[in-house]
Every structure is written in structure tokens, then in C-alpha cells.
Structure 1
């Protein structure tokens, strides 16, 4: 099989903590800044990512991702990509799962979706667009983005249906990597937060 143009690996970086992420509030397109914890987390990412050389760095335009990218040392080379924005949660924006279940006690995001926001299929289509873009790159790629979007992107990378993403937890300021096992896409690292150990 002829070798196709493709990235060696894709490094997924979830943004640092915000007040809403720490409270479990669904944070889609609301432009929430990093809190003090998130700023400290982003600084640890700078040290963790320092050994890498990226041919392409893409970043969500939302400020929590942009700030993480900047503090990690990549904002000057990063391109903003609107397809990396988090899921738009519509009427559930800013609400916790417990609050949503006061309305619908059986609700879960992956099966029920949201009211007046994006469908999971629309989120998956954005993830697929990012994958198509990065698959044309030779070398390593970094993506600075958000929890649910990156989870969907990872399962789409391995050609699985988007609802499988419910099983892939992703912490703030985590590092994950997507790469290859012979000719098929694989997940080679997931939700690594070892760089945060010992952080105050």
C-alpha cells in the first residue's frame, strides 16, 4: 500500500480550567476565561509540550482555548479554526447535568442532545472537517480545543460513531494523542494529566 500524506501524530490539548468547568456547567460557545487554576495548568502544558515540533497548530477561537494555547507557547503559530469550538448547548448552556435532569430525569447529552443547540451529528461533522484538514499534513499537529469536541474528534479519527465518545472522559489541561498502527488510525494516549501532578 502506497504511503499517503498524513500527520505522524495529532496532539489533543484540552483547555485549562474555568469557573464553569469546575462547577460542571455545560460551557459551549459562551466565552468563559480561564480561572487561576486554568492559568496554572496552562503553564504546565508549556513545559510538557516543549519537546514537540508541530507542522500545524490549530486552536478554537474561544478565549479559554486561545489563552491555553498562548500560555503553552503556541499562539504565535496557531491558526484559529471555528470547527474546533465546543458543542453549542443551546438552552442547556451554563446548566449542570443535575439541573437539566430536574426537567428530564432520564436526560443524557449523547442520546437526548440539547434544545435549540447543535445536534451531535453537527458536532461530528465539524470534527470530520478538522480531521480532513489535518490528514493532509506531514508531521505532527496540535489541536487546542474543548472536552466534548475533542472526544467526538477522537472517535471519528478511529472511524467510530460519535455516541461512542460518551465513554472517553477528558480532563482540563489534558494531553491525548492520535496516530497510526500500521495503516489504521489509532488512539495512542488518552487523558494524560501527569504534568499536573504536584500542582498547587
Structure 2
């Protein structure tokens, strides 16, 4: 008789800080490196993850996530991270690279969508919420199916974690969460035969202070 595979446990973690995070600039798919604090946060993540028994590290290919993963992986004695395009941040179209201070002047409606992390907001030239959520959940199902019964660290982005939070809480994709994941904050999920659910694993959070 065939045995049913055990679920994969995925620890989704937001990348370390960048200068654009600090300056309030919408990053989206724009590549921005970690700043010195972000690199310290990545090393702190490695310290907190050292005894979690991770089998692999996956990451968004965007540089802020990639750099975080490349710092963490060797410090927890794992090989080079793997990358999945489905873990990338939401594409914000024409608003990528625009400081929030400028949006406050010429497009306060869009600024409010961003500040409230309104998933139903329209970002010209960017992804719709359904396009974004479908690729994120598809990526996590892919990673989970490749790691049945294992623990995996997944370095990704804040709006990605919002998608997953709504999903595991059974909320509509358009629900406003009124929360923002901090750099280095984690969310654990289980993936079993493509089904993504919450787990009771403790959440990790790396402090933003220097």
C-alpha cells in the first residue's frame, strides 16, 4: 500500500531592509540591494534559523531577496539557494521607483491604496491581484511538492506574504489586512499535495533596530 507523503513546512520570510524601504519608495520588480542594516538582519535571520532543520532555501530572484538568501544559506550550512520567479514581489507598473512623498502630491488615491496595502488597487502597467496571487500560490505549491516532509526556508516579499496570509485565513483576495510584514518577519505554512494551509510553527521576527 502506498503511503501518503507528509506535508512540506515552508517558512516564508521577508527579505532584509533596503535603502528604498527606508526612503518609502515602491520597489516592485525593481532590483535594489540590501543596505548595511539589511545585511545585518540577514545574518540575524541565520542565527535564529540555525536549528530549524531546513533542507533547502528558495528565494525570489529579485536582488534584495536573493542577497538575503545568499547570506543566510551558508550560515545555516545549506548549499546555494534555488530561485522561483513566482516568489517575486507584485509588479506595480508605472508606480515602481516612485517615492511615496511624490505620490502624496500627484496621486494621493494610489498612495492610499499602497499605505492600506489594498490588494484590489489598480496599478497601471502592473499585475492584477488575481495574476499576482495565482503565481504566488502556484510557486508555493511547486516548492512544496518538491520537498514533501521537509522544512524549507523561502525568502520573499511583503505583498507576497499578504497574499498567503489572506489565503490561509480564508479571506477574500481583496480583503484589506491593515498590517505590514517587517523586514525579517516570518510566516509558516504547510503544503500538502498542492494545498496550502497554516501551521502552528512559531513565527520568527528579526528586529529592525540596528
> Is TM more than 0.5 here?
yes
SS of structure 2 residue aligned to 1:20: helix
CA shift for structure 1 position 165:
5.9
CA shift for structure 1 position 20:
0.3
- In 2, the alpha carbon distance for the partners of 1:184 and 1:36 equals 34
SS of structure 2 residue aligned to 1:151: helix
Does 2:165 match 1:154?
Answer: yes
Structure 1: give runs of 5+ residues left out of the alignment.
none
Name the residue aligned to 2:188: 177
Q: Which moved more, 1:122-131 or 1:3-12?
A: 3-12
- In 2, the alpha carbon distance for the partners of 1:3 and 1:169 equals 40
Q: How do 1:123-142 residues align onto structure 2 when only pairs under 5 Å count?
A: 123-136=132-145, 137-142=148-153
- Matched positions, count: 195
Q: How do 1:30-41 residues align onto structure 2 when only pairs under 5 Å count?
A: 30-41=30-41
Q: Which moved more, 1:134-143 or 1:46-55?
A: 134-143
Q: Which moved more, 1:59-68 or 1:3-12?
A: 3-12
Name the residue aligned to 1:18: 18
Structure 2: give runs of 5+ residues left out of the alignment.
none
- In 2, the alpha carbon distance for the partners of 1:157 and 1:5 equals 21
Question: Which protein has the bigger strand share?
Answer: 1
CA shift for structure 1 position 82:
0.6
SS of structure 2 residue aligned to 1:176: strand
Query: Deviation per CA, 1:56-102, whole angstroms, max 9, x where unpaired?
Result: 42111111111111111257242110111111111110224443343
Q: How do 1:1-200 residues align onto structure 2 when only pairs under 5 Å count?
A: 4-73=4-73, 76-107=79-110, 108-109=113-114, 110-136=119-145, 137-164=148-175, 166-179=177-190, 185-186=197-198, 188=200, 192-193=204-205, 195-196=206-207, 200=210
- In 1, the alpha carbon distance for the partners of 2:123 and 2:109 equals 13
TM-score by length of 1: 0.83
TM-score by length of 2: 0.79
